[in-house]
Amino acid sequence: MSDDRIKMAHGAGGSLMRDLIGDVFVRGGGDDPDVVGPEAMEDGGAVRVGDRWLVTTADAHVVAPAFFPGGDIGRLAVCGTVNDLAMMGATAPLGLTITVVVEEGYGRDELRRIQASIDAACAEAGTRVLAGDTKVMGKGEVDGVVLSSAGFGFADRLVRDRGMRPGDRVIVSGSIGDHGLAVMSARHELGLGDQLRSDVAPLNGLVARVLEAVGADLVGLKDATRGGVSAVLHELADKNGAGVVLDDVALPISDAARAAGELLGVDPLVVANEGKAVLIVRPGAVDAALGALRAHPLGRDAACVGEVIADHAGRVIVDTGFGRRLLAEPRGEPLPRIC
Amino acid sequence: MSAAQVDRLQFRDPARARGLLDRLRALTAHRVDRPVTLMHVCGTHEQAIARFGLRSVLPPGLDLVMGPGCPVCVTSAAEIDAAVDLTRRGVRVATYGDMIRVPGTTLSLADAQTEGGRVELVYGVDQAVELARAEPETPMVFFATGFETTAVTTAAALLAGPPDNFFVYSAHKYVPPAMEVVAAMPDTRVEGFLAAGHAATITGFELFEPMAKAWGKPIVIMGFEPLDILAALVRAVELVVSGTPTVENLFPRCVTGPGNGRALDALWQVFELTRGHWRGIADLDAADLDLRAEFARWDARVRFDLPRQLGDGTAHAACPVCPPQQRCGDILVGNARPDDCPLFGKACTPDSPVGASMVSSEGMCRIWFQYGGRPELGP
């Protein structure tokens, strides 16, 4: 089969998606020091306005099922957008836009529930929807409901992807894998009940605390969405020509996520989070960063989980406590194993 | 403390692991030039070994190889072709996630899906039965792959009386004949086997006793936690070094001598052994699990007239899509390591797999690509 057709794997946040973006959507650019454009492949773009940066981001949301344990597509749209802005250093989002594409026959009550979630998440993040658009498509032309969102806000200092160096430490802001495994469990009706809930949450308040505590010692910041912590660390390792060693024993993974992961044969490190950040900090700032994170309700389980090394550029190594192995870079959608 | 934490403490204790590794190192110190070669026959074992980083710490006097233990890998291309053909005939095909991307002669089921075929990813046969019930006018074929462990679930679904539009295409395989093929190879280096704990949970360990005797090689039943694996390796090496070809069960919390009677009853009530084709290996006698005649009304081979296809009996002809330099067959029987294959990681990657062993998460090539095989990952 020809490689010119887009497959589902091209949208899964791994290296295939990065290849597609580099091949089709991003050609050239990057020569204006006052602009961060799509060629930088960061969480958002930015333009310099006076002595500040105006940060913007765009996101589309196609989660199935649209309502899942711990959240729904409306909350996801707001949090995803707010978090992308926060990861660039813009922690006070000025406003969002939300476009709703809905399938003929979809329930008005479901739409109301989604809108209520949007309102609640905006209140939590301290922002608002400034504009929107509604489109209806014919039966079968779209699967239920699709949301597309954008957001903007100012950052005094941009947090970029290219500041990490050997010796820096890797911190995660809390337990990992919950969102992806909760959605997979719901999608495939694994019947894990209420134990596994999505972590979808706006991280701007949490990030603001960390920036206040460690300032320029925070040298990398990404939300671990599609492709999970693994995709984020591979991207950072690749962009900075460094390696990363992760301490498996230190990784905060809930018992429910661990169990679902073992059941499905899916590593919690490669599934999406919607309320977790990966932070790269200078070694002297670890305690201050952890202190700031753990003082916030969304960062209580924050942990230092690894270190940046000079060797093994572009690779992520897991120290399992028994031995060492490579961490897989997610490529396509994780498929559950057969036995 | 939660149950999960207790479990981790018991079977994932790094200090105990170091003790077992020291013992392995001492036992094999005299064999560094000609390592003790043990074979396991289970993708889940290779997964566990790789995932816990055990390959990076095994002593040089021990060579642990994987045999034909990936059911997806040994599913013949002709069977995948048959499933692709079914999708073109308007039949829904349900199968396990791993199976979807394995190339047949020309297409995989994923390709068939891109073409518009109806392919459903399921976690178990029950889900396929439910999907069939939800759309009674459309025939649904469960493309059933896996060893005896998985076959038991297929058997249970058929015994429960599935709907009339539900059919099984059995590509199920039976592990012991594959072990026998390796043991019987004149040039084999394998001195002992590690049998899969989950398969043995069904079949029991007594089944292996005549084999160990006939082959003159010990067989140790191995579990899947790091300490299960290391303890079984220690025992297997002890048996090899002392020349004791017996069966030992190092997974006693799941495996018994006679096995799971109810599961075995269901298995043999529904299936019988037949000669089958193992991709990359050969045609093997009594190695495939075929539906018995009493279950013909649910047999997709009967309903859709899809006769069982065999190869010409030779290893290389066994896989019609293999380029000649590809070493799938050698890798599947433990005669080569993935990085001995010139295609590994270059022309053959998880994105564009050439061999089935690179597709399945149970395949050795995929596992080595993902976890680095036996890399030098030290500081």
Mutate to test the interface with B, among A20, A269, A337, A339 (most CBs of B within 10 A): A339
Measured in angstroms, the CA of B254 and the nearest CA of chain A are apart by: 16
Unique residue bearing structure tokens 């596994």: A196
The DSSP output letter for A131 is E
Among the partner-chain residues A324, A335, A339, the one whose CB lies closest to the CB of B71 is A339
Q: Which residues of A touch B127 (CB under 8 A)?
A: 188
What is the residue-level pLDDT of chain A in tens, covering all 339 positions?
Answer: 446 788 777 776 667 777 888 888 887 778 899 999 988 888 899 999 999 999 999 999 988 889 999 999 999 999 999 999 999 999 999 999 999 999 999 999 999 999 999 999 999 999 999 999 999 999 999 999 999 999 999 999 999 999 999 999 999 999 999 999 998 888 777 777 678 899 999 999 999 999 999 999 999 999 999 889 999 999 999 999 999 999 998 999 998 898 888 887 788 999 999 999 999 999 999 999 999 999 999 999 999 999 999 999 999 999 998 999 999 887 666 555 444
Mutate to test the interface with B, among A322, A326, A327, A337 (most CBs of B within 10 A): A322
Tokens encoding A25:
């959507």
- Average of per-residue pLDDT across B144-157: 95
pLDDT of res. A13:
64
At residue B341, the 3 state secondary structure works out as coil
Q: Which residues of B touch A328 (CB under 8 A)?
A: 370-371
Backbone phi and psi for residue B190, each to the nearest 5 degrees, phi listed first: -70, 125
Q: Which residues of A touch B12 (CB under 8 A)?
A: 321
pLDDT of res. B331:
86
| pLDDT digits 0-9 by tens, B232-284 | 999 999 999 999 999 999 999 999 999 999 999 999 999 999 999 888 788 88
Helices (H) and strands (E) in chain A, counts: 8, 15
Reference A268, options A141, A174, A146; nearest CA is A174
Whether pLDDT at B320 is above 60: no
pLDDT of res. B6:
47
Most confident of A280-294, B41-55, B350-364: A280-294
pLDDT band at B49 (very low <50, low <70, confident <90, very high): very high
Domains of chain A as residue ranges with CATH? 8-155 (3.30.1330.10), 169-327 (3.90.650.10)
Tokens encoding A165:
């160096």
Q: Tally Cβ neighbours within 10 Å of residue A57.
A: 26
pLDDT of res. B316:
41
pLDDT of res. B289:
96
pLDDT of res. A183:
87
- Determine whether the interchain pair A335/B378 forms a contact, defined as Cβ–Cβ distance below 8 Å: no
Tokens encoding B244:
């004791």
Q: Which residues of A touch B111 (CB under 8 A)?
A: 1
Whether pLDDT at B15 is above 60: yes
Question: Does residue B212 contact residue B220 with C-beta atoms inside 8 Å?
Answer: no
Q: How many Cα atoms sit within 13 Å of B12 on the Cβ side?
A: 18
Q: Touching check for A265 and chain B: CB below 8 Å?
A: yes
At residue B134, the 3 state secondary structure works out as helix
pLDDT of res. A153:
97
B4 versus A188: the higher-pLDDT residue is A188
Which residues are bridge partners to A49 per DSSP? A52
Cβ-based contacts under 8 A for chains A and B: 110
Segment 63-82 of chain A within 8 Å of chain B by CB:
none
| pLDDT digits 0-9 by tens, B98-116 | 899 888 888 899 999 989 9
Cα–Cα distance, B367 to B48 (Å, whole number): 10
pLDDT of res. A1:
40
Reference B278, options B194, B152, B181, B191; nearest CA is B181
The DSSP output letter for A20 is H
pLDDT of res. B179:
87
b/e string for B100-118 if b means 16 or more Cβ within 10 A?
bbbbbeebbbbbbbbeebb
Mutate to test the interface with A, among B56, B96, B175, B321 (most CBs of A within 10 A): B56
Q: Touching check for A190 and chain B: CB below 8 Å?
A: yes
pLDDT of res. B318:
42
Q: How many Cα atoms sit within 13 Å of A300 on the Cβ side?
A: 4
Whether pLDDT at B228 is above 90: yes
Cα–Cα distance, B42 to B247 (Å, whole number): 17
Beginning with the edge strand found earlier in the chain, give each strand of the sheet holding A145-155 in spatial order. Answer: A35-36, A45-49, A52-61, A145-155, A95-103, A129-137
pLDDT of res. A303:
98
pLDDT of res. A79:
97
Cα–Cα distance, B58 to B50 (Å, whole number): 11
b/e string for A279-313 if b means 16 or more Cβ within 10 A?
bbbbeebbebbbebbeebebbebbbbbbbbbeebe
- Determine whether the interchain pair A323/B146 forms a contact, defined as Cβ–Cβ distance below 8 Å: no
pLDDT of res. B113:
92
pLDDT band at B186 (very low <50, low <70, confident <90, very high): confident
pLDDT band at B336 (very low <50, low <70, confident <90, very high): confident
The ipTM of this complex is 0.74
Please name the residue of chain A whose CA is at the shortest distance from the CA of residue B105. Answer: A1
Helices (H) and strands (E) in chain B, counts: 17, 11
pLDDT of res. B322:
61
Cα–Cα distance, B329 to B319 (Å, whole number): 9
Backbone phi and psi for residue B201, each to the nearest 5 degrees, phi listed first: -60, -35
A128 versus B331: the higher-pLDDT residue is A128
pLDDT of res. A260:
87
- 10 Å CB burial of residue B187 (0-12, 13-18, 19+) is exposed
Cα–Cα distance, A272 to B94 (Å, whole number): 26
pLDDT of res. B93:
98
